[in-house]
Amino acid sequence: MSQHPLRTLIETCDAAISRRDFDALMAFYAEDAALVVKPSMVVLGIPAIRRAFAAISDYFDGRLEVTQGAMEVIEGADNALVIMETRLRYPDGHGSWIDENRRATYVFRKEADGQWRCTIDNSYGTALLVAVP
Amino acid sequence: MSQHPLRTLIETCDAAISRRDFDALMAFYAEDAALVVKPSMVVLGIPAIRRAFAAISDYFDGRLEVTQGAMEVIEGADNALVIMETRLRYPDGHGSWIDENRRATYVFRKEADGQWRCTIDNSYGTALLVAVP
């Protein structure tokens, strides 16, 4: 069975995050996309998103790993809403690793060149409703 | 404080659902939008979405009421992702009422005429990941 093209795309993005290839990563974002860096902090546009990913990676000492679990895609009107189990793994600063699972929500748009690009990257999903103070 | 235009829009939609005014409701959907009717059942396009809302309302004997709780909106690249507490109230068939709260995810697109229209209506939010058998 072939997998949904957006799963392949997200795998490519997560691999780029893990190896700190932010140029490759940015090819999959719409120019004025939004990234939820953390609850109540959203950045807009590719330059700011690139800086945020670099800062996040630095924060985890360049050792953040992102992989994918279960996924649902709903497509409508050249948008796609991806509901996804996103798995983060990073050092705890004391020699072992922390595993964190999120239920993410990503919005994509099919652009004029036929490519899907991310318009809204919210790895916190509906947890935003409780996470914001 | 003025509220986000999408909150006003969603209030208008939910009021239209509650009074079974499906023509008014459809003005807020993109032509080829998607509606998650229930986990693993998605319908596409205004005619199918209109029929689904009428069937859902009939199922609840015309007495489904939809109101709104907490909301977060993330805007990027002419899309908006709305994370919302959606409150459903309907008769239990034995003379009393059932209250059901969902954490919904709605995707909107700002269209050429400047109006926000819904492209993906998923009232199940990230619960889709566990709800699908």
Residues of B with CB under 8 A from a CB of A: 30-36, 42, 44, 70-72, 74-81, 83-85, 103-105, 107, 109, 117, 119-120, 122, 125-126, 128-129, 132
Distance from CA of A3 to the nearest CA of B (A): 17
By C-alpha distance, which of B52, B66, B75, B58 is closest to B104?
B66
User: In the prediction, which pLDDT does B54 show?
Assistant: 96
User: A9 in helix, strand or coil?
Assistant: helix
Domain ranges of chain A: 5-131
Question: In the β-sheet with A29-38, what is the strand arrangement from edge to edge?
Answer: A41-44, A29-38, A116-122, A97-110, A79-91, A65-76
By C-alpha distance, which of B22, B74, B16, B131 is closest to A118?
B74
* Band of pLDDT at residue B46, cut at 50, 70 and 90: very high
**Is the pLDDT at B133 greater than 70, yes or no?**
no
Q: Give contacts of B129 with chain A, Cβ < 8 Å.
A: 70-72, 83-85, 103
User: In the prediction, which pLDDT does B96 show?
Assistant: 94
pLDDT tens by residue, A26-65:
999 999 999 999 998 999 999 999 999 999 999 998 899 9
User: In the prediction, which pLDDT does B131 show?
Assistant: 60
Q: Taking the CA of residue A121 as centre, how many other CA atoms within 13 Å lie in the half-sphere pointing to its CB?
A: 26
**Residues A55 and B100 sit within 8 Å (Cβ to Cβ):** no
**Residues A106 and A122 sit within 8 Å (Cβ to Cβ):** yes
**Is the pLDDT at A132 greater than 60, yes or no?**
no
User: In the prediction, which pLDDT does A99 show?
Assistant: 96
Contact A125 B122 (CB under 8 A): no
Q: What percent of chain B has pLDDT over 90?
A: 86
The pTM for the full model equals: 0.93
CATH class as words, domain B5-131: alpha beta
User: In the prediction, which pLDDT does B61 show?
Assistant: 87
Distance from CA of B119 to the nearest CA of A (A): 5
What ipTM score was computed for the predicted complex, to two decimals?
0.93
User: In the prediction, which pLDDT does A1 show?
Assistant: 60
| Mean per-residue pLDDT over chain A, rounded | 93
Distance from CA of A61 to the nearest CA of B (A): 29
Q: Which residues contact A100 (CB under 8 A, 6 or more apart)?
A: A87, A88, A89, A90
Amino acid at B2: S
Q: What percent of chain B has pLDDT over 70?
A: 97
* Band of pLDDT at residue B130, cut at 50, 70 and 90: confident
User: In the prediction, which pLDDT does B1 show?
Assistant: 61
**Is the pLDDT at B122 greater than 80, yes or no?**
yes
pLDDT tens by residue, A56-75:
999 998 899 999 999 999 99
**Is the pLDDT at B132 greater than 70, yes or no?**
no
| Mean per-residue pLDDT over chain B, rounded | 93
